[in-house]
Structure 1
Amino acid sequence: MLPCLDDLIPLVQAIAREELLPRFNHAERRVKADGSIVTEADFAVQRRLAEALRQRYPELELLGEEMDPARQRELLGRLEQGLWCLDPLDGTSNFAAGFPFFCISLALLQGPEPVLGLVYDPLRDECFTAQRGRGAWLNGRVLRCRTADLPLSACLAAVDFKRLDPGRAAALACRPPYRSLRYLGSGALEWCWLAADRFQVYLHGRQKLWDYAAGALILTEAGGWATTLEGEPIFAPGLPPRSVVAAGDSRLHGQWWAALAAEPHSGPE
């Protein structure tokens, strides 16, 4: 039997309020070996959630972003038994700079794919959740992508140019196939905003497992559609990063993917 989302939600909310909000815009940052930023808030949330989940669900291990890669690889061998996948603070650069867009992302992986997803934005008190085959919710209300018949040229897009191949990034910047552009800096929360129709198409060149595990489930359970740039399914239970091409429905995804495939680029993202 799966853990109950109604039990997980208040746990994640309480830890976010106690560990993230008091540190927001006051956190000392340091740079990790891969060039990304980490703060004490990342480690505090991971410690708190790891301990709380261990007490409630001792049979389930936790893979966290702020964990040794060798340990992460070891844990990925236990997917059949169930494995929590945690990004304790997605949007750390935003958090450290005082930019109000960050979240906690938690997924339960079981077998080949995520079966539960929870993304919590403590500043807006918005909790996005999903259970495989059961649907997606925002603060307990059913979440469904609206499938208005918008052409790609009328859509609002979220695009992470930083992690795209330079040729593709330049082509998109010079000849955008969408109406307007936003990029907000928290992959997990961007998946959820796409599910909530706050923009209609999404592109990211490189996300790690903890960036997309919960958000991809929330989007697909809300009726959205996503693949990699190569047209492969998003979820792959491993540490290598994955590209993301996503939209609010399959029709729009097809238009978006075709537009990207037609643009020149200099190699894999």
Structure 2
Amino acid sequence: MFPESLIELTALICETADRELPSRFGCHSGSRKADGSLVTEADIVVQAALFDALKQRWPDTDVLGEEMDESAQQRAMHHSDTGLWVLDPLDGTTNFSNGVPYYAVSAALLRNGVIEQGVVYDPNRKECFAAARKQGAWLNGERLQHGCSAPPLAQGVALIDLKRLPKDLACRLASNPPYKSQRSFGAVALDWAWLAAGRFQVYLHGRQKLWDYAAGCLILEEAGGCAVTLEGKPVFAPTLQPRSAAAALDPAAFQQWIDWLGITRG
């Protein structure tokens, strides 16, 4: 059964995204942040709307958003023991601004160093992925469950972000890939959610921020999937430092994948 604790959160995320994003889709206007990433009016408007809505509904829970300045993000992290919403108001901004319909809004609840809830909403497909720790993961209220065995790695589809990988690993994948086919879509939170739904078999990313992966990695975990960093550590850590991720929904496929990558779980 879909947890009552997620009903209000998913409604809030979906309503905000459906109200604010469609009219701004494909708009190229924006600016560049210090790290070179794009920020648009949509990022700012959705973040402000979600801040207001979350604080109104849960006034004792702080909020951290991607578009906050770093000092404000650091201050927010100090309140994670009492509860912290971690937001990516527009995951896949470059796609969104160029009219590519692969983007999402994500939110995760962090408390005492643990992700308790996560939501990733795709307004284009009206797909809302959600999870609650130790209760399961859902797509539009239907439980996501790992069922069918994945194909062998050599026959699988991989979602790989080559840009942020160590150069030697990126070259190895480009010259001698262990999988049949490869994709890269450009929206990290939605990548995690699609992996949890079984839409590809293995995943690899070299550098993603807390708001990119917090909701998605919980959704994958609750769907039965596995993930580690390139160093063999758990992907989630209550930090603003970027994390790498190697993941799969099927445990056997995951083991084949990390064996090929040379990752030893710590």
TM range, normalised to the smaller chain?
A: over 0.9
CA distance in 1, matches of 2:54, 2:35: 28
User: Could you tell me which residue of structure 2 aligns to residue 215 of structure 1?
Assistant: 216
The count of corresponding residues between Structure 1 and Structure 2 is: 261
CA distance in 1, matches of 2:67, 2:4: 23
Aligned-pair CA distance for 1:250: 2.4
> Aligned pair in 2 of structure 1 residues 149, 53: CA closer, same or farther (>3 Å)?
closer
Consecutive unaligned residues of structure 2, counting only runs of 5 or more, are none
> Aligned pair in 2 of structure 1 residues 219, 98: CA closer, same or farther (>3 Å)?
same
User: Could you tell me which residue of structure 1 aligns to residue 24 of structure 2?
Assistant: 23
SS of 1:199's partner is coil
SS of 2:86's partner is strand
TM-score normalised by the chain length of structure 2: 0.95
User: Could you tell me which residue of structure 1 aligns to residue 242 of structure 2?
Assistant: 241
SS of 1:119's partner is strand
CA distance in 2, matches of 1:190, 1:145: 17
Q: Do the aligned partners of 1:100 and 1:123 also contact (CA within 8 Å) in 2?
A: yes
Residue identity (%): 52
TM-score normalised by the chain length of structure 1: 0.94
> Aligned pair in 2 of structure 1 residues 149, 124: CA closer, same or farther (>3 Å)?
closer
- Report the residue type matching 2:227 in the other structure: A
CA distance in 2, matches of 1:77, 1:147: 42
CA distance in 2, matches of 1:227, 1:119: 20
Deviations 1:113-156 (A, max 9, x none): 11000000000000000000000000000011334152111110
Q: Do the aligned partners of 1:225 and 1:248 also contact (CA within 8 Å) in 2?
A: yes
Structure 1 vs Structure 2 CA RMSD: 1.3
Moved over 3 A (4+): none
SS of 1:80's partner is coil
Consecutive unaligned residues of structure 1, counting only runs of 5 or more, are 263-269
User: Could you tell me which residue of structure 2 aligns to residue 226 of structure 1?
Assistant: 227
SS of 2:203's partner is strand
Aligned-pair CA distance for 1:26: 2.0
CA distance in 1, matches of 2:197, 2:4: 25
SS of 1:170's partner is helix
CA distance in 2, matches of 1:83, 1:233: 20
Residues 74-153 of structure 1 correspond to what in structure 2 (within 5 A)?
74-153=75-154
Q: Do the aligned partners of 2:229 and 2:245 also contact (CA within 8 Å) in 1?
A: yes
